Amino acid sequence: MYGVFFLRTKSSEEILQVFRQFKALVEKSTGLSIARFRCDNGKGEYDNHQFKYFLAESGISFEPSAPYNQDQNSVSERMI
């Protein structure tokens, strides 16, 4: 329904650009807005000033999981 977004790199600039496209597509097709962004506690692609500023500007709360706590990350992470 929403498609697949391929990344060439995990650079913060590319992540932000692709997330903006994803956000626009999801919000336009559903009529709803994204309220939360949950991710693992990895440093780099999501944990940077530009991405956090965009989320705050859009009214989206940033929710990283606690370190060393895989059960917060979903089924795929728990299986690892």
Q: What is the pLDDT of residue 73?
A: 55
Phi, psi of 26 (to 5 degrees): -65, -45
Q: In 3D, which of 39, 44, 37 has the Cα closest to residue 67? A: 39
Q: What is the pLDDT of residue 74?
A: 57
Q: What is the CA radius of gyration of the chain?
A: 13
Question: Which runs of E-coded beta strand occur in 1-80?
Answer: 36-39, 61-64
What residue ranges of the chain have pLDDT lower than 50?
none
pTM for this entry:
0.77
Secondary element (H or E) of residue 15: helix 12-30
C-alpha to C-alpha distance for 40 and 47, rounded to whole angstroms: 10
Q: What is the pLDDT of residue 18?
A: 92
